[in-house]
Amino acid sequence: MDATVNILKALGDRNRLRIVLALSGVDELCACQITGLLEVTGATVSRHLAVLEQARLVDRRRDGRWIWYRLRSSADTERVLAWVRAHAGDDPQTRADRKLLDEILTVEPAAFCRLQRGDHTTGDDANDDANITCQPTEKNR
């Protein structure tokens, strides 16, 4: 029963629920992309992801300086995800998140992270014109 309680606690936060729904539509997201989606600080996203990892809903992998997150592949995760989608999948916030995530994914991850830090030159003309508005976090204000 402890595992069930941990999953329910993890999903009891609006931003963690948004992360799970976002990850359900993609293979994986880097921490910067999740930060951009939620429009909160990196530290806040890190705490939310740690809770999701402890609940065994999310896995991460390190690739150099990048940390990538994906939903854990398990029968329990699939059942939880089916329930979440049925109850929150068509919520206005979920629809807005899908739209923003689609925009975020048009930008190469390294360029997106630079945008979040306030560096609006990506070195790639195609990505320089991306219609992404990165909200400054408290860390880089």
Residues 6+ apart with CB under 8 A from 34: 19, 22, 45, 49, 69
Whether 6 is covered by a domain: the verdict is yes
Instruction: State how far Cα 110 lies from the chain centre.
Output: 15
Whether 114 is covered by a domain: the verdict is yes
Whether 120 is covered by a domain: the verdict is yes
DSSP for 46-110, written as a single string: HHHHHHHHHTTSEEEEEETTEEEEEE--SHHHHHHHHHHHHHHTT-HHHHHHHHHHHHHTTS-HH
CATH code, domain carrying 29: 1.10.10.10
Whether 137 is covered by a domain: the verdict is no
Whether 141 is covered by a domain: the verdict is no
Whether 136 is covered by a domain: the verdict is no
Inter-helix orientation angle 31-38/109-116, to 10°: 50
pLDDT band for position 120 (50/70/90)?
Answer: low
- Token pair for 78: 């699939």
- The answer to whether 40 touches 32, Cβ cutoff 8 Å, is no
Whether 91 is covered by a domain: the verdict is yes
Q: Is the dihedral of CA 59, 79, 36, 42 positive or negative?
A: negative
Whether 105 is covered by a domain: the verdict is yes
Please give the tally of structural domains in the chain.
Answer: 1
Q: What is the pTM of this model?
A: 0.81
Q: What is the pLDDT of residue 48?
A: 97
pLDDT band for position 130 (50/70/90)?
Answer: very low
Domain range holding 22? 2-130
Q: What is the pLDDT of residue 10?
A: 93
